[in-house]
């Protein structure tokens, strides 16, 4: 962090707002305890989840938004669920139920309290059919050693 005489503190582009730990009158702004990964790729047959948690005083409220438009994420029955613990859950789904706005999307976790708001890194989510696996079966196949 560098001090600018005219504008106060300035932060490099690599500074994470989640690490600043803003304190206001004995209160502490939100700080991430668990941040989601930058990429999550999973199969429609397995499902997956994004977890996020933050602490502070007062306790921050954790929500999810889409990125870059910052729209609040809501539940989509059978495809996306918001759990009370800050987890965004994507249950297994049929290939024909794939929805790009749910399964091929970018998300961010948001932690908010009366002291402030922080955003997690952007998560690029990709869900789809599992990769094909090839298994070869040979009938009457034998290996012999030439001597």
Q: What is the pLDDT of residues 110-134, one digit of tens each?
A: 999 999 999 999 999 999 876 555 4
Q: Is residue 13 part of a domain?
A: no
Q: Is residue 16 part of a domain?
A: no
Give dist(CA 15, CA 26) in Å, integer.
Answer: 24
Record the pTM.
0.73
Identify the pLDDT of residue 16. Answer: 42
CATH of the domain at 44: 2.60.40.10
CB 41 within 8 A of CB 31: no
Q: Is residue 94 part of a domain?
A: yes
Per the DSSP assignment, residues forming a β-bridge with 9 are 3
Identify the pLDDT of residue 140. Answer: 54
- Range of 68's domain? 28-145
Q: Is residue 10 part of a domain?
A: no
Render pLDDT for 63-90 as a digit per residue (tens, 0 to 9). 999 999 999 999 999 999 999 999 999 9
Give dist(CA 130, CA 108) in Å, integer.
Answer: 25
How many structural domains is the chain composed of? 1
Give dist(CA 95, CA 128) in Å, integer.
Answer: 7
């Amino acid at each position: 962090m560098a001090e600018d005489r005219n504008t106060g503190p300035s932060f490099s582009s690599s500074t994470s707002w989640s690490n600043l730990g803003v304190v206001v009158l004995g209160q502490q702004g939100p700080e991430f305890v668990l941040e989601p990964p930058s990429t999550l790729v999973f199969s429609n047959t397995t499902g997956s989840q994004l977890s996020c948690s933050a602490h502070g005083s007062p306790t921050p409220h954790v929500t999810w938004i889409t990125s870059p438009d910052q729209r609040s994420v809501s539940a989509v029955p059978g495809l996306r669920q918001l759990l009370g613990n800050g987890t965004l859950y994507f249950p297994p789904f049929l290939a024909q139920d794939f929805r790009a706005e749910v399964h091929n999307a970018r998300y961010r976790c948001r932690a908010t309290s009366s002291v402030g708001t922080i955003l997690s890194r952007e998560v690029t989510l990709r869900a789809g059919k599992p990769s094909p696996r090839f298994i070869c079966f040979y009938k009457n196949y034998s290996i012999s050693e030439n001597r």
